[in-house]
Chains A and B, each alone.
Chain A
């Protein structure tokens, strides 16, 4: 996932000759494109171990709330995605001639909220597509339209943070991301056991 994200950043770097001027225009888009592609890779693998020997059946038979399976998978996906983002950020700063500053703190906030949105929706759709034959193809087709509102907010919020605008302009986007994550976690907890049914 990290390697793929770095590759995306590198390709964009050479394609657009990124530098200080391009930072605010295409930087956020480049960054989130890399993260979304990495996230899709990770999500496609998130139920692979359970698929191999049908061990998801054993988890479904366990005497616990089935939502716990979703929460566990979502948390794992979130941790992996955040790790990828932390690895990629220094390279992003390098390619865009970005100096460390106060903006890093709100940027981390945007990354955490954005990643929570991607993981919350992504885990549900990964579960849904895990029993399908063309799962690698179907997951992006199903997921990308659904995460579009969150993705737009992520890009806008990241752009504002890189512009050092941390005030009222940023707040609606953060609120939007938080609401999206809460709604999707709640929805997924209700729908997960139907999503994994064959």
Chain B
């Protein structure tokens, strides 16, 4: 089997005696747009954090192009992560925040990339405002700019539509669609099926920390809702 893509091998994650994930085995190939569904507490965010290399599996392993993101820094640079939280600094301006992350990722032509990223998310005119003064939607847009600034090949999205108004949701959907067309691998956790269904080409459902459903996907939000319904009782 080729090493390309994201591989989760019999991975479990324990918090004390609580098993947030149990023996999850998943292989995500390049260019796939995976919708990760499941009830609250099913282990979706935990799985994304393991994929991002932020958290360490209790057993099993996570590999990105054959490399462990915990040990290999280059594997981590392939990942962009958009979470519930912005992962940004409130006391820095939008431009300073992106500048900081551009330096961390040692980007070439950082100013040009920052300008492009701010333009893409429609925040060019707010570049000098501190993050503290931003609305929830503006913060989320800047968080997307941060997550995609280093042009990651794998984008992990944890409820990316949370707090966005309708125009911002449409803009985010369009941007994710562009990333999908450009061949980026996306793994998205969302309860917003209207936005998620048209983007996804694979559906993975978690239930009580176990992977219980995995299929290729093409369909509407209603179809998606009907497909996921039997697994929605997994609240822990």
Which positions in A face B, CB cutoff 8 Å? 49, 52-55, 57-65, 197-198
Contact = CB atoms under 8 A, between A and B. Distances in A.
B59 interface: no
12 contacts: A49-B91, A52-B90, A53-B88, A53-B89, A57-B52, A57-B54, A58-B81, A61-B79, A62-B104, A63-B77, A63-B104, A64-B73
Contact of B83 (A52, A57, A60): A57
B56 A63 contact: no
Interface residues of B, number: 26
B76 A61 contact: yes
B90 A57 contact: no
Contacts of B86: 53, 55
Contacts, number: 59
Contacts of A65: 73
A85 B56 CA distance: 39
B225 interface: no
B104 A54 contact: no
Contacts of A58: 81, 87-88, 101, 146
Interface in B69-89: 73-74, 76-77, 79, 81, 83, 85-89
A32 B73 CA distance: 40
B55 interface: yes
A62 B49 CA distance: 14
Given A57-B52, A58-B101, A63-B104, 18 more contacts: A53-B87, A53-B89, A53-B90, A57-B49, A57-B81, A57-B87, A58-B87, A58-B88, A59-B104, A61-B53, A62-B101, A63-B73, A63-B106, A64-B73, A64-B104, A65-B73, A197-B55, A197-B56
A54 B87 contact: yes
B85 A53 contact: yes
Contacts of A49: 89-91
Contact of A55 (B52, B79, B89, B105): B89
Nearest to B143: A53
A50 to B, nearest CB: 8
Interface in B31-58: 49, 52-56
Residue with the highest number of chain B CB atoms closer than 10 Å, among A57, A58, A60: A58
Nearest to A55: B87
Interface in B85-100: 85-91
Contacts of A53: 85-90
A9 B104 CA distance: 41
A73 to B, nearest CB: 14
Given A49-B91, A63-B105, A54 B83 contact: yes
A49 B89 CA distance: 7
Contacts of A55: 86-89
A136 to B, nearest CB: 20
A38 B77 CA distance: 38
Contacts of B54: 57, 60-61
Contacts of B83: 54, 57
Nearest to A62: B104
Residue with the highest number of chain A CB atoms closer than 10 Å, among B73, B81, B87, B105: B87
Nearest to B146: A58
A57 B85 contact: yes
Contacts of B91: 49
